[in-house]
Amino acid sequence: MTSTLRIQHRTNIHYDGPVSHSFDEVRMTPLYSESQLIRRTAISVTPQPWQYSYVDYWGTQVTSFEIHEPHQRLTITADSTLDVVKLPHLDSGMTLPQVGAGHDRWYEYVLNSPVTDPGEDLRERTRELVDDTMTINRIGHTVSEMIHDQVHYVPGSTRVDTTAQQAWKARSGVCQDIAHLVIGCLRSLGIPTRYVSGYVLPRNEAEPGEPVDAQTHAWVQWWDGAWTGFDPTNLVDSGESHARVGTGREYADVAPFKGVFTGAGGTSTYEASVVMRRLG
């Protein structure tokens, strides 16, 4: 099945005083891939910046810009239209004893970081859930279900720098934390797993063209001979409602916005909104 999605992502940054220089980069452009055909994409910035784009180490499109004039507000609008195809999610039959053959190729997605390290308690729980006869795909679903059952989705309960262990201790978080927890658990078993940043249409029943309030979203992909996408927050395979922007080891590799500034504005406030439409 194929969906045509339009995504409008607006970000407003307000500074508490005039800023003389700001240096920023955004990762808000959907990725061209076998499951995504990009029809149109544009990023506009106010005030008018010096701007350029490049593809980073992880394969994500980055728009970088600089503003060298006094400003107290920065507005970024990303507007994209794309076709998303739901590819079949096939179980390759690969098991834990076999997955190690991919470690040299995907070693960056096998090693846990301080952000994704699940801690000993969760590592032990994960080991108790699986055995060597289970396929990687089945393990991925089983671990995702465990995290989904144990960790409550609570908007605003964590920050972008919250670690997997902190979210597990609180038993609450957002999609970013749930993805980090699943990633940490699967990597602890030696399964290459990566973080996916993008958007998801929250209401599949929306009429064509109907605007739907959405937000940036995170899910995971594990390696079982190919990258298999799964959304542990919603317990669904990634499909025609998911628009992928990029992949990395963790949130920081694919953060939608990063920036620094100089000038009188000592602090800033950040507001973001996402509106999605299914066009067909």
Q: What is the pLDDT of residues 205-246, one digit of tens each?
A: 889 999 999 999 999 999 999 999 999 999 999 999 999 999
Determine the pLDDT at residue 87: 85
Same domain, yes or no: 138 and 236: yes
Q: What is the pLDDT of residues 152-190, one digit of tens each?
A: 999 999 999 999 999 999 999 999 999 999 999 999 999
Contact between 189 and 139 under an 8 Å Cβ cutoff? The reply is: yes
Determine the pLDDT at residue 268: 82
Same domain, yes or no: 71 and 170: no
Same domain, yes or no: 274 and 147: no
Same domain, yes or no: 24 and 54: yes
Q: Bigger pLDDT: 90 or 209?
A: 209
CATH number of the domain at 226, please.
3.10.620.30
Same domain, yes or no: 183 and 123: yes
Residue 91 within a domain: no
3-state helix vs strand vs coil in the chain, percent to 5: 20, 45, 35
Same domain, yes or no: 176 and 201: yes
Same domain, yes or no: 41 and 172: no
Q: What is the pLDDT of residues 1-56, one digit of tens each?
A: 789 999 999 999 999 989 999 999 999 999 999 999 999 999 999 999 999 999 99
CATH number of the domain at 261, please.
2.60.40.2250
Determine the pLDDT at residue 263: 82
Q: How many domains does the chain have?
A: 2
Determine the pLDDT at residue 132: 92
Mean residue pLDDT of the chain comes to 95
Q: Strand, coil or helix: what is 54?
A: strand
Structural domain that includes position 188: 96-251
Pairing of strands 172-173, 152-153: parallel
